[in-house]
Amino acid sequence: METIKAMTGDEIAAETIRQINPDVMAAYPITPQTEIVQIFSEFVANGLVDTEMVRVESEHSAMSACVGAASAGARAMTATSANGLALMWEIVYIAASLRLPIVMPVVNRALSGPINIHCDHSDSMGARDSGWIQLYSENCQEIYDNLIQAVRIAEDKSVLLPVMVTFDGFIISHGTERVKILEDEQVRKFIGKYNPRYPLLDIDNPVTYGPLDLFDYYFEHKRQQVEAMKNALDVIKKIGGEYTQLSGRSYELIEEFGSPDADLVVIAAGSTAGTVKGAIEELKEEGINAKLLKIRAFRPFPQDEIKQSLRKVAVVAVMDRSASFGAVGGPIFLEVRSALLDEERRIPVVNYIYGLGGRNIGIEDIKKVFQDLIQIRKTGKVKNLVNYLGVRE
Amino acid sequence: MPSLKDLSKKEELFSNGHRLCPGCGAPIIVRQVLLAVDTPVVICCSTGCLEVGTTIYPYTAWKVPWIHNAFENAASTISGVEAAYRSLKRQGKIDKEIRFIAFGGDGGTYDIGIQALSGALERGHRFLYICYDNEAYMNTGIQRSSASPRGASTTTSPAGKAIPEGKTEYRKDLTQIVAAHNIPYVAQASPGYYNDLMKKVQKALSANGPSFINILSPCPRGWRYPADQTIEIAKLAVLSGFWPLYEIENGKYRITYKPRKKKPLKDWLESQGRFRHLLKEENKKVVEELQKNIEEKEKKLLALAGENA
């Protein structure tokens, strides 16, 4: 039996971690992730979990302790935001390279400087080459569903990679929504028991983790990591399917919303996908057919699904909530445009950088983007490849 | 304490064939530590000579479970391993007794890793942290660390015309910083006194909480002395008063070895190329100050141990 509760993003993240019941949770507070750590600490204090909670003195030590715990053979988790993710950066890469299935909610917040506590994706987008799987959540329900699936994805034998489940700081982390929650037993049965292959604590079969790996082997290990990330594409789909059986909610690498035959498409990740949905519904009433392509998995990048989805469309706008300084456009834009490059028919793709440092984005802003797309469809001309939405300039 | 003869029969958990320099203090220390251990152990090493020299993929010199994460986080990594152990044991998924030891050099402990160390000590994980202190960044080529003693010439504190004494600052007293965490067991040891060192390891591992041993690790390359002199140098450090052997057990100080006949600090300085410039006339005052500094520290230590000199 599922229950329905009204919860904020941080509350549901903490509740999901309680249901997952990790062996070790190592965490350090940072706005807007703090409530996750606070609420989970209460679960620990009240004996609701088996978790050994390590209240570390920094995020660097949070990820370091997770690496130690996961190597030891424990299911290990942490959670962070922005500067916290930046401080653990070095070990974020090491966690992926050691192939440790750590799951980490990342509450998206703008990276300093200047210091800012509100949402953008500069933190997780910066970590896109770190070897972590990245699942972006649109709302509280998706935080719940993604975190549960993340455990299975990370621990899949053909993957063995850490997963970050992201959601937008304050907009989702502190916004209250309706969430459908499975029973503890259902979740625990779905994620199953963790059977680590080479735990450090198996003292009868000693293993060496993290040796010096030089030019004679390092490249092969990196190549295997690339392959594991590729394997994750099918695994995310497979586990999404199994989760649908359990929950009735469907999960793919991407999600489409709006008229299937619409030729105007906006691509977005995170809470803005919900805003785009709102805009599409209003446009429909105005007689305009439009479509959303939501990126759920950004790493691995679902190139084939995106190509398939965009094959028949006229024009595409990619929404990026982070800037890639010195690059042609934002990170999602670059990947989408590259994916479409070898299509026979050239599809115009434009980029909108928006919402940096928590700058609000509303339905009207998205409708303006669709109006721009209508112009491009009409004239066949792209005036500005990269646009900055909602900024004074 | 077992006799040397018995120890020679004990299985070595650290194999030969590693690639550390001849005469390096670190593997001698590791062998002494592992010979003192009777319970299964998991080892964590910070980045440094010991890690680089013992685990070049696909080889490893360690016959025990071993992990290296990064430079500054041996303490937080081992605290994660220990937390996993506690959790799995509480859940009945593990029944064996296991002990946890982290090895860090002075760079990884005194400098870049001091935050992670302090955090892990405060949290009370049951683990032994061993600093093998060779008094400089040896793995990157003998750069000064906050453990480098005043007067040492290193590649980033060379003795020159404008600065004839080499490193101008006194070394950080990490043992005292760790002691201020009020953990059950803290000690200083030297591989020149293996019995003393091994006893300290056994005490540290039986402490129900964090423990720390600072072990002086002579480095023939960085200290510039012949590679066959390591044990002699390790003894001279103690005999000259430069590296006193003591322990703090549940807050109680005890000097564990008192040389019957002390050697002058000059003998210690003369034994190593890194101090050679100090013997020049222009550095006479520096040597006097070093001598004075050591005498003051000895007085303080005696007072702490309740043995007012």
The rounded distance, in Å, linking the Cα atoms of B144 and A37 is 39
Interface test with A, best of B88, B100, B127 (most A CBs within 10 A): B88
Query: Which residues of chain B have a CB within 8 Å of the CB of A94?
Result: 69-70
Residue A314: CB atoms within 10 Å: 18
- Best of A21, A59, A64 to substitute, by most chain B Cβ atoms within 10 angstroms, is A64
List the single best residue of B85, B89, B123 to mutate versus A (max A Cβ within 10 A). Answer: B85
Q: Render the burial of A204-213: b for 16+ CB within 10 Å, e for the rest.
A: eebbbbbbbb
| Spatial distance between the Cα atoms of B61 and B30, rounded to a whole number of angstroms | 11
Answer whether A217 sits within 8 Å of B72, measured CB to CB: no
What is the side-by-side order of every strand in the sheet holding A254-258? A254-258, A291-295, A264-268, A315-320, A349-354, A386-389
Beta strands in chain A (DSSP E): 3-8, 24-27, 52-55, 76-77, 103-108, 133-136, 163-168, 176-181, 208-209, 254-258, 264-268, 291-295, 297-299, 315-320, 349-354, 386-389
SS3 assignment for A246-315: HHCCCCCCEEEEECCCCCEEEEECCCHHHHHHHHHHHHHHCCCCCEEEEECEEECCCHHHHHHHHCCCCE
Helix (H, G, I), strand (E, B) or coil at B149: coil
Per the structure block, which two tokens stand in for A315? 């024009």
Name the maximum alpha-carbon separation found in chain A.
71
Question: A285 burial class (0-12, 13-18, 19+ CB within 10 angstroms)?
Answer: exposed
A100 is written with which tokens? 């440790």
Whether residues B119 and A207 touch (CB distance < 8 A) is answered with: no
CA distance B249 to B270: 34
Tens-place pLDDT, residues B117-147: 999 999 999 999 999 999 999 999 999 999 9
Selected residue of B77, B78, B125 to mutate for chain A interface (largest A Cβ count, 10 A): B77
d(CA A186, CA A190): 6
B64's CB contacts (< 8 A; 6+ apart) are A203, A206, B13, B34, B40, B41, B42, B43
Output the pLDDT for position A257.
98
Q: How do residues A110-138 score in pLDDT, each as one tens digit? A: 999 999 999 999 999 999 999 999 999 99
The H or E element spanning position B146 is none
Look at domain A3-196+210-247 and name its CATH class. alpha beta
Whether the per-residue pLDDT at B114 is higher than 80: the answer is: yes
Closest CB from B68, B73, B84 relative to A73: B84
Give tens-digit pLDDT for B48-73. 999 999 999 999 999 999 999 999 99
Residue B161 has what DSSP assignment?
S
Interface touch B81/A200, C-beta < 8 Å:
yes
pLDDT for B309 equals: 59
Domains of chain A, residue spans? 3-196+210-247, 254-389
Partner-chain contact A74 B84, CB within 8 Å: yes
Which residues have CB under 8 Å from A161's CB, separation 6+? A96, A99, A101, A131, A132, A133, A154, A225, A228, A229, A232
List chain A residues with CB under 8 Å of B42.
72, 200-201, 203
Reported as a pLDDT band with limits 50, 70 and 90, residue B229 is very high
What's the DSSP call for residue A328? S
Residues in B 101-120 with any Cβ partner in A closer than 8 A: 115-116, 118-120
Closest CA to B73 of A104, A87, A257: A87
Q: Which whole number is the average pLDDT over B220-245?
A: 98
**C-beta atoms of B68 and A201 within 8 A:** no
pLDDT, residue B3, reads: 87
With an 8 Å Cβ cutoff, are A26 and B68 in contact?
Answer: no
Q: What is the pLDDT of residue B4?
A: 87
Which distant-in-sequence residues (6+ apart) come within 8 Å of B86 by Cβ?
A52
In whole angstroms, give the CA distance from residue A81 to residue B5: 57
Torsion of CA A293, A296, A302, A308, to 10 degrees: -30
Which residues make Cβ contacts (< 8 Å) with residue A325, sequence separation at least 6?
A: none
User: Is A254-389 the same fold as A3-196+210-247?
Assistant: yes
B60 touching A, CB under 8 A?
Answer: yes
Residue of B nearest to A52 (CA): B87
Q: Do A23 and B77 touch (CB under 8 A)?
A: no
Instruction: Give the integer Cα–Cα distance in Å for B258 and B241.
Output: 9
Amino acid making up residue A157: K
CB count within 10 Å of CB A86 equals 18
CA angle A297, A277, A110 (to 5 degrees): 55
CA atoms lying within 13 Å on the CB side of residue A27: 32
The number of folded domains in chain B is 1
Chain B positions in Cβ-Cβ contact with residue A51 (cut-off 8 Å): 87
Tokens of A82: 């922005």
**Ramachandran angles phi, psi of A167, nearest 5°:** -155, 155
Contact B87 A71 (CB under 8 A): no
In a domain, B1, yes or no: no
Pick from B65, B77, B88: CB nearest A23:
B88
Nearest to B73 among A64, A76, A213 (CB): A64
CB spacing of B77 vs A52 below 8 angstroms: no
Residue A1 confidence (pLDDT): 77
The vertex-B270 CA angle with B266 and B272, nearest 5°, equals 130
Measured between beta carbons, the chain A residues lying within 8 angstroms of B96 are 203
Cα–Cα distance, B264 to A286 (Å, whole number): 94
Task: Name the residue facing A23 among B66, B67, B87 (closest C-beta).
Answer: B87
CATH number of the domain encompassing residue B134: 3.40.50.970
Query: Is residue B4 assigned to a domain?
Result: no
Residue-number span of the structural domain to which B240 is assigned: 11-304
Residue B46 lies in a domain: yes
On whether the CB atoms of residues A316 and A335 are closer than 8 A, the answer is: no
Q: How far apart are CA B245 and CA B250, in angstroms?
A: 17
Nearest CB among B72, B94, B123 relative to A201 is that of B94
Kind of pairing between the strands at A133-136 and A297-299: antiparallel
Q: Which residue has the tokens 């088996």?
A: A50
Q: Residue B71 corresponds to which amino acid?
A: F
Q: What is the pLDDT of residues B160-205, one digit of tens each?
A: 999 999 999 999 999 999 999 999 999 999 999 999 999 999 999 9
Please state, in angstroms and rounded to a whole number, the distance separating the CA atoms of residues B240 and B259: 9
pLDDT at B1: 76
- Beta carbons of A134 and A124 less than 8 angstroms apart: yes
CB < 8 Å to B126, chain A: none
pLDDT, one tens digit per residue, over B2-43 is 888 999 999 999 999 999 999 999 999 999 999 999 999 999
CA neighbor of B66 nearest in space, from B108, B38, B102, B97: B102
CA A162 – CA A132 distance, rounded (Å) = 5
Question: What CATH class does A254-389 carry?
Answer: alpha beta
Whole-number Å distance between alpha carbons of A94 and A299:
17
Positions of chain A with pLDDT under 50: none
